[in-house]
Structure 1
Amino acid sequence: MKVAFIVPSLQNLGPTIVVNTIIKHLCYNGVEMSVYYFDESEAMDFNCPVYKIVNNSPIDFDSFDIIHSNMYRPDKYVYHWKHRIRKAKIVTTIHQDIFRNLRYNYNCIISVCFTPLWIKYIKKFDRKIFISNTIKNLYSFENSLVIHNGIDIEYNPQLANQLYVEKIWKLKQHGYTLLGTYAAINRGKGIDQLIELARMRKDLGIVIIGNGKEKHALQLLARRYNVNEQILFLPYLHSPYNYLQHIDIYVMPSRNEGFGLAMIEAAMVGVPVICSNIPIFHEIFNENQVVFFDLENIDSLSEAVNIILSKYKYYKDSIYSYVMNHFTGEIMAKKYLNLYNSIVD
Structure 2
Amino acid sequence: MCIIQKNSQIKIAVLVPSLINRGPVIVANNIVSGLYGDFHFELFYFDPIFEIKPKCPFYHIKSFNISYFSKFDIIHSHGFRPDLFNKKIKNKFPYVVSISTIHNFIFEDFNSIYGIIISFIFGNYWIFSLKSFNKIVVLTHLQKQFYSKYISSSKLFVIENGVHLNTNVNLSLEHKIKDFISKFDNPIILGTTCQLIKRKGLVQILRSLTYLNNYIFIVVGDGPEMNYLIREAKNNGVFDRVLFTGYYKKNYILFEYIDVFLLTSYSEGYPLSLIEATSNLIPSVCSDLPIFDEILSNDIRFTYKLNDINDLVDKIQYVYNNRYMIKINISKFLLCRMDFNLMIKKYSDLYLN
- TM-score in same-fold range (> 0.5): yes
Q: Write the distance in 2 (CA, Å) between the matches of 1:273 and 1:298.
A: 16
The amino acid of 1:307's aligned partner reads: Y
Superposition pairs of residues 181-192 of structure 1, within 5 angstroms: 181-192=192-203
Q: 2:191 touches 2:218 (CA, 8 Å); kept in 1?
A: yes
Q: Write the distance in 1 (CA, Å) between the matches of 2:253 and 2:337.
A: 22
Gap change, CA 1:158 and 1:115, over 3 Å in 2? closer
Worse-matched range after superposition: 79-88 or 218-227: 79-88
Match of 2:297 in 1: 286
Q: Write the distance in 1 (CA, Å) between the matches of 2:280 and 2:180.
A: 17
- Counterpart check, 1:135 vs 2:143: yes
The number of equivalent residue pairs is: 340
For the aligned residue pairs, the C-alpha RMSD in angstroms reads: 1.8
Gap change, CA 1:161 and 1:282, over 3 Å in 2? same
Q: 1:155 touches 1:269 (CA, 8 Å); kept in 2?
A: no
Match of 1:272 in 2: 283
How big is each residue's C-alpha offset from its partner over 1:227-284, in whole Å with a ceiling of 9 and x where there is no partner? 1111111111122122222211111111101111101111222221111120111111
Q: Which runs of 5+ in 1 are unaligned?
A: none
The amino acid of 2:82's aligned partner reads: P
The amino acid of 1:48's aligned partner reads: C
Match of 1:4 in 2: 13
- Counterpart check, 1:336 vs 2:347: yes
The amino acid of 2:31's aligned partner reads: I
C-alpha displacement at 1:190, in angstroms? 1.4
Q: 2:137 touches 2:156 (CA, 8 Å); kept in 1?
A: yes
C-alpha displacement at 1:158, in angstroms? 6.5
Q: Which runs of 5+ in 2 are unaligned?
A: 1-9
Q: 1:22 touches 1:329 (CA, 8 Å); kept in 2?
A: no
Aligned counterpart for 2:160 among listed residues 134, 145, 148: 148
Match of 1:121 in 2: 129
Gap change, CA 1:320 and 1:76, over 3 Å in 2? same
Q: Write the distance in 2 (CA, Å) between the matches of 1:145 and 1:162.
A: 39
Q: Write the distance in 2 (CA, Å) between the matches of 1:168 and 1:18.
A: 31
- Counterpart check, 1:50 vs 2:61: no
Q: Write the distance in 2 (CA, Å) between the matches of 1:335 and 1:174.
A: 47
Q: Write the distance in 1 (CA, Å) between the matches of 2:65 and 2:331.
A: 45
Worse-matched range after superposition: 255-264 or 47-56: 47-56
C-alpha displacement at 1:139, in angstroms? 2.1
Q: Write the distance in 2 (CA, Å) between the matches of 1:324 and 1:120.
A: 39
Gap change, CA 1:334 and 1:151, over 3 Å in 2? same
Q: 2:166 touches 2:252 (CA, 8 Å); kept in 1?
A: no
- What is the TM-score when the length of structure 1 is the normalising length? 0.93
Q: Write the distance in 2 (CA, Å) between the matches of 1:157 and 1:270.
A: 18
Aligned counterpart for 2:29 among listed residues 14, 20, 23: 20
How big is each residue's C-alpha offset from its partner over 1:98-149, in whole Å with a ceiling of 9 and x where there is no partner? 0111122333332122111111111110111111122222222121121111
C-alpha displacement at 1:194, in angstroms? 0.4
Match of 1:237 in 2: 248
- Counterpart check, 1:165 vs 2:174: no
- Counterpart check, 1:82 vs 2:90: yes
Gap change, CA 1:4 and 1:277, over 3 Å in 2? same
Q: 1:8 touches 1:37 (CA, 8 Å); kept in 2?
A: yes
C-alpha displacement at 1:59, in angstroms? 5.2
Aligned counterpart for 2:68 among listed residues 53, 60, 72: 60
C-alpha displacement at 1:166, in angstroms? 2.4
How big is each residue's C-alpha offset from its partner over 1:196-223, in whole Å with a ceiling of 9 and x where there is no partner? 1112222211111101112221111111
Gap change, CA 1:109 and 1:216, over 3 Å in 2? farther
Percent of pairs with identical residues? 29
Q: Write the distance in 1 (CA, Å) between the matches of 2:343 and 2:213.
A: 41
The amino acid of 1:12's aligned partner reads: N
Worse-matched range after superposition: 320-329 or 187-196: 320-329
Q: 2:283 touches 2:323 (CA, 8 Å); kept in 1?
A: yes
The amino acid of 1:113's aligned partner reads: I
Q: Write the distance in 2 (CA, Å) between the matches of 1:7 and 1:327.
A: 23
SS in structure 1 of the partner of residue 247 of structure 2: coil
Q: Write the distance in 1 (CA, Å) between the matches of 2:239 and 2:67.
A: 50
SS in structure 2 of the partner of residue 46 of structure 1: coil
The amino acid of 1:235's aligned partner reads: G
Gap change, CA 1:51 and 1:157, over 3 Å in 2? closer
Q: Write the distance in 2 (CA, Å) between the matches of 1:94 and 1:258.
A: 8
- Counterpart check, 1:223 vs 2:234: yes
- What is the TM-score when the length of structure 2 is the normalising length? 0.91
C-alpha displacement at 1:54, in angstroms? 0.9
C-alpha displacement at 1:318, in angstroms? 1.7
Q: 1:290 touches 1:315 (CA, 8 Å); kept in 2?
A: no
Match of 1:263 in 2: 274
